[in-house]
Amino acid sequence: MPVPKVVPLGGPRAGAAPTQRTDEELMLLVRAGSRDAMAVLAERYVGPLTSFCAKLTGDLGAAEDIVQEALLRLWTRRADWQPRGRVGGLLYTAARNLCRNRARDTRRRGRWLLPAAGVIAVEGLRVTAGDIDPVLSRERRRDVLRALADLPEAMREALLLRFDGEMSYEEIARVVGANESTVRSRVHFALLRMRATVGGEEADGR
């Protein structure tokens, strides 16, 4: 099946290459059937989404499958997309819901999603001092991942969306279906628990 050509947008950016377009411009092209635009979106988000899902689930293989499913859903449901909110928010919402579904299925099979040893599976991902909490040093990454796995699920996902996903509290609230003050509280207490476990200087959770 031939790959559709990118549909030019009107205005001064008409004819811009897919890699130079914003997410929203790319989604307009995706909605029109452009596989080129979808490939660019996938390339932009596959790394951050995999990191988010791996840290949320503790299973890198499951995270990769979840991200592929989230991207596939975006493509198959492209005709329903409306330019409301960030495309990244839509993808993180889909990935988060798939992670939660995987967690429920796993618990039904009689084992926890995040066993203590399972955290080691995500250590192959790039984890830097700015990946979760800007003040946590790189040499503590193993302790950070373990402390992250020990957080309640709601705190863990809020923290990851804030620092991995670089989302505003308003955006996170839309993703997790909670009000903004609840999200702020989850991030604040998650940071307190992380610091109590790992140690380190004060972090900016505002």
Residue type, 63: A
In this structure, the answer to whether residues 53 and 30 fall within a common structural domain is yes
Which structure tokens are listed for 20? 């130079």
- Per-residue pLDDT at 105: 62
> Does the residue 194 lie in any domain?
yes
In this structure, the answer to whether residues 102 and 176 fall within a common structural domain is no
In this structure, the answer to whether residues 107 and 24 fall within a common structural domain is yes
Q: How confident is the model at residue 107 (pLDDT cuts 50, 70, 90)?
A: low
Q: What is the CATH number of the domain that holds 147?
A: 1.10.10.10
The C-alpha atoms of residue 162 and residue 203 are separated, in whole angstroms, by 13
Residues constituting the chain: 206
Could you give the percent of the chain with pLDDT greater than 70?
A: 70
Which structure tokens are listed for 24? 């929203």
Q: Between 106 and 41, whose confidence is greater?
A: 41
Choose one of 61, 80, 112: the last residue of a domain. 112
Q: What is the CATH number of the domain that holds 68?
A: 1.10.1740.10
> Are the CB atoms for 70 and 94 separated by under 8 Å?
yes
Choose one of 55, 88, 112: the last residue of a domain. 112
- Per-residue pLDDT at 155: 92
For the chain, how far is it from start to end, CA to CA, in angstroms?
49
Q: pLDDT tens across 109-127, in order? A: 444 344 333 333 333 334 4
> Are the CB atoms for 81 and 31 separated by under 8 Å?
yes
Sorted by sequence, the CB contacts under 8 Å of residue 22 that are 6+ apart come out as none
Q: How confident is the model at residue 16 (pLDDT cuts 50, 70, 90)?
A: low
Range of the domain at 172: 127-201
Give the rounded distance of the alpha carbon of 58 from its chain centre.
14
Domain count along the chain: 2
In this structure, the answer to whether residues 135 and 105 fall within a common structural domain is no
> Does the residue 151 lie in any domain?
yes
Average pLDDT over residues 18-30: 89
> Does the residue 2 lie in any domain?
no
In this structure, the answer to whether residues 35 and 59 fall within a common structural domain is yes
> Are the CB atoms for 177 and 96 separated by under 8 Å?
no
